[in-house]
């Protein structure tokens, strides 16, 4: 499945060695000595992360907006002190994310979930300063608890502007019968006395032209409510740190709303924070043949990079080209017994041998937060790298991690 479909949404960085991203990533990754890391291992490059954070901070500085890390995409909390130097805090999808962001970054904590559990809500209140509700009934159910909790908590409502340019339904919060947020029709049927802000999230890996068009729709439909509120949250899906991202139109979109309504604007990107800052180092275990050369790796699409199968997409590999581009083409497969545990087809100048290292790019986001121990396959280790401090392995996993969840 994933092998024939190119990474659709992330298509800007697909390609072989001629691709400028590949050159950049290679330039970074060759500075690492792969043998200093266990295999497999996620390695986040702190210098690259800092570059992304500087771009995000420049948007905050130019517009006065507030940018939060969406922990759903990237929760490697060893980096939270660094991220907290640049961003205003975190957004969370659950009690546990709210707690992690509160304890490890200690700045603003926002939370949104389609519905909150009653037995968790007191704790959610303890860790969060902003709570976004998905429906009128959720707001009514919890508003007295919020008022009585002894600290000031800002409350928002997620709206569904019924406008999204995402073509894949699984990532489109505005598809027919979506449960994400309130449509204008439902919103208008109620009185939202006590609500401080609105939240929409309708984008995925998109540029700012999409945001501009979305903001026009939100303004047209919900503008009349904005002037009485304190803030609006533009959600995530803004690919701000991508090379071809148009920052000027982002700035224009933020200032348009800020100036028209005199309210604060939040953005909560996940991907953009750690985009292209992580690698997954793996090792060839065996090479076999069945109509083509197949390399079995010690890392698995199903276990360690589930978006490869879910999205699906073909991750870049350092030093590899498209199939057929170089003399030796291999299909990369994982060590599990899932037939479709296939990462993609890649070509190399030299033949691969057991023991060779294979390094996948852009493996910081939606990787560590989604991995699993299917088939009893161990989890990759987690490490940091920077030019100043070199390699630092933070975590390795073992049998107990597998067993303790079962
Ligand atoms: C997924 C999500 C984000 C982050 O999205 P990215 O695509 O990683 O930028 C932000 N806010 C909400 C509500 C989300 O569901």
User: Within this chain, do residues 270 and 282 fall inside the same structural domain, yes or no?
Assistant: no
- Domain residue limits at 340: 3-39+277-403
DSSP string, 208-240: HHHHHHHHHHHHHHHHHHHTTSSEEE--S-B-T
CA of 343 to the centre of ligand 1 (A): 25
User: Within this chain, do residues 65 and 10 fall inside the same structural domain, yes or no?
Assistant: no
CA distance linking residue 158 with residue 152, whole number of Å: 20
Query: Is the model's pLDDT at 23 over the cut of 80?
Result: no
Tell me the average pLDDT across 346-366.
98
User: Within this chain, do residues 281 and 391 fall inside the same structural domain, yes or no?
Assistant: yes
Which residue, 244, 274, 304, sits at the end of a domain?
A: 274
Query: Is the model's pLDDT at 8 over the cut of 90?
Result: no
Tell me the average pLDDT across 3-26.
41
CA distance linking residue 65 with residue 251, whole number of Å: 9
pLDDT at res. 282:
98
Tell me the average pLDDT across 227-252.
98
User: Within this chain, do residues 163 and 251 fall inside the same structural domain, yes or no?
Assistant: yes
**Ligand 1 pocket: which of 182, 214, 270 to mutate (most atoms within 8 A of CB):** 270
User: Within this chain, do residues 197 and 58 fall inside the same structural domain, yes or no?
Assistant: yes
User: What residue's CA is closest to ligand 1, atom 7?
Assistant: 237
Tell me the average pLDDT across 138-146.
98
Atom number of ligand 1 nearest to Cα 270: 8
User: Within this chain, do residues 88 and 216 fall inside the same structural domain, yes or no?
Assistant: yes
Confidence of residue 11 (pLDDT cuts 50, 70, 90): very low
Pocket of ligand 1 (CB under 6 A): 70, 72-73, 91, 112, 201, 204, 235-237, 268-272
Q: Which helix (H) or strand (E) holds 247?
A: helix 247-261
User: Within this chain, do residues 70 and 183 fall inside the same structural domain, yes or no?
Assistant: yes
User: Within this chain, do residues 252 and 296 fall inside the same structural domain, yes or no?
Assistant: no
Which residue, 247, 274, 301, sits at the end of a domain?
A: 274
Tell me the average pLDDT across 97-125.
98
CA of 234 to the centre of ligand 1 (A): 10
User: Within this chain, do residues 246 and 393 fall inside the same structural domain, yes or no?
Assistant: no
Query: Is the model's pLDDT at 400 over the cut of 60?
Result: yes
User: What residue's CA is closest to ligand 1, atom 3?
Assistant: 236
Query: Is the model's pLDDT at 3 over the cut of 60?
Result: no
196-218 tens-digit pLDDT: 999 999 999 999 999 999 999 99
Confidence of residue 145 (pLDDT cuts 50, 70, 90): very high
303-325 tens-digit pLDDT: 999 999 999 999 999 999 999 99
Q: Are 135 and 195 in contact (CB under 8 A)?
A: no
CA distance linking residue 295 with residue 254, whole number of Å: 48
Mean pLDDT, the chain, rounded, equals 93
User: Within this chain, do residues 292 and 380 fall inside the same structural domain, yes or no?
Assistant: yes
User: Within this chain, do residues 84 and 224 fall inside the same structural domain, yes or no?
Assistant: yes
pTM, entire model: 0.93
Tell me the average pLDDT across 248-276.
98
Q: Pick the range with the lowest mean pLDDT from 10-14, 88-92, 337-341.
A: 10-14
User: Within this chain, do residues 126 and 140 fall inside the same structural domain, yes or no?
Assistant: yes
CA distance linking residue 127 with residue 119, whole number of Å: 15
**Total domains, the chain:** 2
CA distance linking residue 66 with residue 86, whole number of Å: 10
Query: Taking the CB of residue 37, how many other CB atoms lie within 10 A of it?
Result: 23
Tell me the average pLDDT across 255-275.
98
Which residue, 274, 298, 321, sits at the end of a domain?
A: 274
CA distance linking residue 111 with residue 240, whole number of Å: 22
384-395 tens-digit pLDDT: 999 999 999 999
């Amino acid at each position: 499945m994933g092998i024939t479909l190119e990474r659709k949404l992330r298509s800007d960085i697909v390609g072989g060695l001629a691709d400028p991203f590949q050159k950049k990533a290679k330039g970074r990754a060759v500075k690492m000595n792969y043998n200093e890391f266990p295999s497999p291992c996620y390695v986040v490059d702190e210098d690259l992360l800092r570059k992304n954070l500087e771009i995000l901070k420049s948007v905050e500085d130019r517009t006065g907006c507030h940018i939060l890390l969406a922990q759903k995409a990237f929760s490697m909390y060893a980096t939270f002190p660094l991220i907290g130097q640049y961003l205003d805090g975190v957004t969370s999808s659950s009690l546990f994310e709210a707690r992690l962001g509160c304890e490890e970054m200690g700045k603003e904590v926002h939370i949104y979930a389609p519905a909150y559990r009653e037995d968790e809500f007191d704790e959610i209140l303890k860790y969060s300063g902003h709570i976004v509700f998905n429906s009128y009934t959720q707001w009514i159910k919890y508003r007295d608890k919020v008022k009585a909790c002894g600290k000031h908590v800002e409350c928002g409502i997620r709206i569904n502007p019924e406008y999204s340019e995402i073509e894949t339904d699984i990532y489109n919060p505005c598809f027919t019968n979506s449960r994400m947020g309130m449509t204008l029709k439902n919103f208008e049927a109620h009185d939202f006395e006590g609500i401080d802000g609105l939240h929409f999230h309708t984008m995925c890996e998109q540029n700012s032209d999409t945001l501009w068009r979305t903001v026009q729709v939100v303004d047209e439909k919900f503008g009349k409510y904005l002037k009485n509120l304190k803030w609006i949250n533009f959600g995530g899906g803004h690919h701000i740190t991508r090379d071809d991202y148009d920052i000027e139109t982002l700035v224009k979109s933020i200032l348009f709303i800020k100036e028209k309504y005199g309210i604060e604007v939040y953005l909560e990107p996940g991907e953009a924070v750690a985009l292209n800052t992580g690698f997954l180092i793996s090792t060839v275990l065996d090479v076999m043949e069945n109509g083509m050369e197949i390399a079995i790796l010690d890392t698995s699409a199903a276990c360690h990079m589930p978006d490869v199968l879910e999205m699906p997409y073909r991750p870049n590999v350092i030093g590899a080209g498209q199939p057929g581009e170089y003399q030796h083409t291999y299909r990369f497969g994982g060590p599990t017994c899932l037939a479709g545990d296939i990462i993609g087809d890649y070509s190399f100048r030299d033949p691969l041998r057991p023991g060779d290292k294979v390094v996948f790019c852009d493996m910081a986001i939606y990787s560590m937060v989604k991995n699993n121990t299917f088939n009893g396959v161990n989890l990759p280790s987690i490490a940091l790298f920077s030019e100043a401090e070199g390699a630092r392995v933070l975590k390795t996993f073992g049998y107990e991690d597998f067993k303790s969840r079962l």
